[in-house]
Structure 1
Amino acid sequence: MRSFLRKWQDEVKKTFTGRADEVPDWVPKLAEGNDPGYHLPGSAIWAVHGSMSPIVAGIRTLLMQALHPGALAGVHEHSSFREDPLIRLANTIRWIFTVTYGSSEAAENASRRVRRLHEAVQGSYSDNLGAQRDYSANDPELASWIHLAFTDAFLTAHKIWGGAIPGGPDAYVREWAQAGRLMGVEDPPLTEADMHRQLDRWYESGELRVDGRVAETVEFIRNPPLNRMLRPGYRILFAGAVYSLEPRYRQMLGLAVPRLGPVALPVRLATKAVLAVVRLALGRRGPSELAARERLRRLGVPAANA
């Protein structure tokens, strides 16, 4: 039994960091730098990103982002997500945690690195009216949709499965707007209400759509090539992501909260249980947060020991 649990724990770590035996080489570097960074202990960002709710939020983000044909074209035409989805996941986690926990210089460098990689991600797609539209991963409009989908997913998942947010939901939206600016978003929302208004504009614009490529993507997200030890838990987390979606987006994606006949299954509770087990595997504080606290203590920031 102990051997099984150790293997399961290693697979969880490998899934989120790319390594089971040690932390990625970029994590200890978060202890470097000569300023506190954009976010500190006690912030809304640290509360949300330091919880387990981002695991569900990540799945929800992918589902939401798939609704934009430009974003989806970029993934299908310029990504190896089918062959090695864990590399893409690990790179995304690296950027999120660097912006969350790193110095301002580290956050800016990480964002520039991603934007450089995005320079090659461009092409064209046919919009809902049949016209050819150019897309670029660094286009501010497309970056805005990606930022909105991310912010909404992480905030919603935390409101369902996380704890209190210092300053409330508006604080999270306002603080994470800095990440949007680093990625070229020109008008990131600063309040939860503003975020929903921007999402409504996208929904009403007619630019979002569902087609065969979206259905293929949703099916891949539903059944990614994970180690079989992780699949039962992932199925619950996927159901949790679907549960957290607004009904209008669930309908667009052709998804539904699992039911047993007329009875809705306890997805919310089951997701909470799986996240608690993952927390046991990963620990209360992750290595990125610990490295950040080491930097803050070196700089004499009072919040370091909070």
Structure 2
Amino acid sequence: MSHAVASAETIGETTYGLAGPRSVTWQLHADPSMWLGGIASLYLQALHPRTVAGVVQNSDYRTNPLGRLVSTAEFVTVGVYGRRDKIEAAAARVRRVHASLRATDPDTGRTFRVDEPDLLLWVHCAEVHSFLDVARRAGYPLTDAQADRYLDEQRATAALVGLDPAAVPGSVTAMDAYLASTRPALRHTDDSQGIYDYLHRPPVTGRLRLGLPVYEPVIGHLAYSLLPAWARRLYGHRAYPDAVATAMLRTLRTAALATRGVNPFLGPHPSVRQAIRDLGEWARPSPANLPEA
């Protein structure tokens, strides 16, 4: 390895992404299955009554249907592939916004902050659990040790929104235990039904409406069907059979991987392209670059 390449790699490890270009996170989040994992996480998050109340009472998702999806996806992507200064700036903005928001508890009528640690922890865990679960189900080649490493790396993401990393599950076993302990607090509500309806059929207008007959069964309902069985039981809506959902997911991932070189929508995010330009091809995300865990 040349001195120039070694220097670039060293700079990349300390400058780009919270976990860096050699992480499981860096490789995994470039996979197209992350899109469905992200949507599945929104269904899962909505089963927490106070979390979903905070979203519904402080969001314009009904009048700006793509706004929250795009902003959430952008924040996650910048945290994985962006420069550290951009990550810190984005995190500071998110913390400021969260600190200013209040909502009313639907059960007690109490006003609460949406950045209470237990709510932030639920959102984080629902998100990274969904990313990991959907990616592995899609056929992304992670070992159990690499799955544990991914969740451990994601503690740094949790710290961005103000959580203590030591309080965040850092392994599959710890995540499973957290989800099991939280399940008694979860249920289907009018607010979660609103999110279900929105994610199945977002109220888009214009040309975007033309894609709804494809989006609803192929993306919206598939993402719902990828939820854990216990979460689907809480919602109470029918889902695709597990074998069908897995087959659809793997078919979509294969098609996306085959066409992403010619489809701008499926191609690398600008943050990924910038990192590759600055660091070189060694930093291109790939399952072949997964670190040993």
Q: TM-score range by the shorter chain?
A: 0.7 to 0.9
SS at match of 1:119: helix
Task: Tell whether the 8 Å contact from 2:37 to 2:223 is kept in structure 1 after alignment.
Answer: yes
- Could you tell me how far apart the structure 2 residues matched to 1:276 and 1:138 are? 38
* Secondary structure, aligned partner of 2:15: coil
**Partners of 1:236 and 1:268 in 2: CA distance:** 12
Alignment of 1:189-208 (within 5 A): 189-204=169-184, 207-208=185-186
Aligned to 1:21: none
1:294 maps to which residue? 277
Tell me the secondary structure at the aligned position of residue 182 of structure 2: helix
Q: Does 1:273 align with 2:255?
A: no
Q: Specify the alignment match of 2:187 in structure 1.
A: 209
Q: Please tell me whether the aligned partners of residues 236 and 267 of structure 1 are also in contact (alpha carbons under 8 angstroms).
A: no
Spell out, residue by residue over 1:25-48, the C-alpha distance to the aligned partner (whole angstroms, 9 max, x if none): xxxxxxx9x823423334211222
CA distance in 2, matches of 1:214, 1:286: 30
Q: CA deviation at 1:189?
A: 0.9
Residues 221 and 239, structure 2, Cα contact 8 Å, conserved in 1: yes
Distance 1:146 1:232, change over 3 A: same
Could you tell me how far apart the structure 2 residues matched to 1:172 and 1:256 are? Answer: 31
1:143 matches 2:123: no
Q: Which residue of 2 aligns with 1:256?
A: 238
Unaligned runs of 5+ in 2: 1-11
Residue in structure 2 matched with residue 39 of structure 1 by the alignment: 19
Structure 2 vs 1, CA of residues 275 and 211 (structure 1 numbering), >3 Å: closer, same or farther?
A: same
Question: What fraction of aligned residue pairs are identical, expressed as a percent?
Answer: 25
Task: Tell me the TM-score normalised to structure 2 length.
Answer: 0.80
Give the paired residue count: 263
Distance 2:126 2:26 in 1: 19
1:239 aligns with 2:216: no
Structure 1 residues 265 and 201: CA distance shift in structure 2, 3 A: closer
Structure 2: how far apart are the matches of 1:142 and 1:233? Answer: 30
Q: What displacement does 1:278 show? A: 4.2
Among candidates 126, 132, 151, match of residue 173 of structure 1: 151
Partner in structure 2 of residue 304 of structure 1: 283
CA distance in 2, matches of 1:231, 1:118: 35
Partner Cα distance (2:110, 2:213) in 1 = 38
Contact 1:47 1:165 survives alignment (8 Å)? no
Write the mapping of 1:108-127 to structure 2, written as runs, cut at 5 A.
Answer: 108-127=88-107
Q: Is the 8 A contact 1:40 1:303 kept in 2?
A: no
Q: How far 1:234 moved relative to its partner? A: 4.2
Measured against aligned partners, the alpha-carbon deviations of 1:130-178 in whole angstroms (never above 9, x if no partner) come to x334322221111000001001110001011142237521011011111
Superposed CA offset, 1:184-206 (max 9, x none): 123111111101111111113xx
> Which runs of 5 or more structure 1 residues have no equivalent in the other structure?
1-31
Does the Cα contact within 8 Å between 1:36 and 1:295 map onto a contact in 2? no
Name the CA shift for 1:232/1:149 in 2 (closer, same or farther; >3 Å): same
Distance 1:142 1:274 in 2: 32
Calculate the TM-score normalised by the size of structure 1.
Answer: 0.77
Change over 3 Å in CA distance of 1:244–1:251 after alignment to 2: same
- The CA distance in 1 between the partners of 2:115 and 2:229, in whole Å, is 30
Following superposition, the deviation at residue 179 of structure 1 comes to: 0.4
How far residue 52 of structure 1 moved from its aligned partner, in angstroms, is 0.7
Distance 2:213 2:243 in 1: 18
| 1:211-242 deviations in Å (ceiling 9; x for gaps) | 22222221121111352225414422233323
Structure 1 residue 289: Cα displacement: 1.0
Say whether 1:79 aligns with 2:59: yes
CA distance in 2, matches of 1:121, 1:243: 31
Letter in 1 for 2:195: T
Number of the residue aligned with 2:32: 52
Q: 1:154 to 1:251 in 2, by over 3 A?
A: same
Per-residue deviation, 1:286: 3.1
Tell me the CA shift for residue 265 of structure 1: 7.1
* Cα distance change, pair 148–234 in 1 and its aligned pair in 2 (3 A): same
Q: What is the CA RMSD across the aligned residues, in angstroms?
A: 2.6
Give, in whole Å, the separation in 2 of the partners of 1:277 and 1:135. 44
